[in-house]
Amino acid sequence: MTVARLKKLSLVGPAAHKTATLEALQDLGCMHVLPLAPPPNEPEKISERGAREAYKALRFLAEVSDPRRQIQRDPDFEMDAFVKDVRDLMQRSRDMMDRRDFLAHRIAQVRPWGDLDFPPTDVLAGNRLWFYQLPQKHRDALSGVELPWAVLHEDHRFLYAVLISPDEPDDDILPIPRTHVGSLPIHELEAQLEEAEIALEALEAERVAQTRYLTLMRRNLSVAESAAELAHATQKVRDEEAMFALQGWVPEDRVDAVLDMASANKSAVLIEEPTSDDTPPTLLEQPDKRAAAVDLALFYQVPGYQDWDPSVIVSASFAIFFAMIIADAGYGVVILLGLLFFWKRMGSTVSLRSWRRYGLVISGATILYGVMVGSYFGASPDAGSIWAKLKVLDINNFSAMMMVSIVVGVLHLILANALAARAAWGQRKAVANLGWIAALIGGFVLWLSYMKGQSPNPGAAILCVGVIAIVLFSSERVIKKPTDWVWRLIEGLQSLAGAMGAFGDVLSYMRLFALGLASASLAITFNDLAVSVMHSLKGPGILFGLLILIIGHVLNFALAIMSGVVHGLRLNYIEFFKWGLPDEGTIFRPFARKEVQE
Quote the CA–CA distance of 136 and 585 in Å, as a whole number: 67
Q: What is the pLDDT of residue 204?
A: 94
For residues 13-26, one letter each, b for 16 or more C-beta atoms within 10 angstroms of the residue's C-beta and e for the rest, the string is beeebbeebbebbb
pLDDT range class, residue 86, cuts 50, 70, 90:
very high
Cα diameter, the chain? 113
Task: Answer whether 113's CB lies under 8 Å from 152's CB.
Answer: yes
Residue 430 pLDDT > 70, yes or no?
yes
Q: What is the pLDDT of residue 46?
A: 55
Residue 74 pLDDT > 90, yes or no?
no
Query: Can you state the angle between helices 457-473 and 428-452, rounded to 10 degrees?
Result: 160
Between 462 and 1, where is the model more confident? 462
Residue 598 pLDDT > 50, yes or no?
no
Between 516 and 42, where is the model more confident? 516
Q: What is the pLDDT of residue 99?
A: 93
- pTM for this predicted structure: 0.74
Average pLDDT over residues 238-242: 87
Between 365 and 78, where is the model more confident? 365
| Three-state DSSP class for residue 281 | coil
Task: Answer whether 553's CB lies under 8 Å from 523's CB.
Answer: yes
Q: What is the pLDDT of residue 43?
A: 54
Residue 473 pLDDT > 90, yes or no?
no
Mean pLDDT score across all residues of the chain: 87
Residue 52 pLDDT > 90, yes or no?
no
CA 188 to chain centre: 51
Radius of gyration of the chain (CA): 36
Q: What is the pLDDT of residue 240?
A: 85
Strands 128-135 and 149-154: unpaired
370 residue type, one letter: G
| Three-state DSSP class for residue 241 | coil
Residue 44 pLDDT > 60, yes or no?
no
Quote the CA–CA distance of 461 and 262 in Å, as a whole number: 61
Question: What percent of the chain clears pLDDT 90, i.e. is strictly above it?
Answer: 38
Most confident of the following: 40-49, 359-368, 537-546: 359-368
Residue 596 pLDDT > 70, yes or no?
no
Residue 265 pLDDT > 70, yes or no?
yes
Residue 417 pLDDT > 50, yes or no?
yes
DSSP letters for 323-354:
HHHH--HHHHHHHHHHHHHTTTGGGSSHHHHH
Q: What is the pLDDT of residue 597?
A: 47
Task: Answer whether 3's CB lies under 8 Å from 282's CB.
Answer: yes
Quote the CA–CA distance of 571 and 222 in Å, as a whole number: 37
Between 79 and 120, where is the model more confident? 79
CA 502 to chain centre: 29
Q: What is the pLDDT of residue 47?
A: 57
Quote the CA–CA distance of 111 and 300 in Å, as a whole number: 58
pLDDT range class, residue 269, cuts 50, 70, 90:
very high
Between 485 and 407, where is the model more confident? 407
How far is the CA of 150 from the CAs of 153, 163, 263, 552, in angstroms? 9, 7, 87, 73
Burial level of 375, CB count in 10 A (0-12/13-18/19+)? Answer: buried
Q: What is the pLDDT of residue 585?
A: 86
pLDDT range class, residue 42, cuts 50, 70, 90:
low
Beta bridge mates, 161: 132, 151
Quote the CA–CA distance of 30 and 262 in Å, as a whole number: 13
pLDDT range class, residue 151, cuts 50, 70, 90:
confident
Between 203 and 495, where is the model more confident? 203
Q: What is the pLDDT of residue 77?
A: 87
Task: Answer whether 163's CB lies under 8 Å from 133's CB.
Answer: no
Q: What is the pLDDT of residue 595?
A: 60
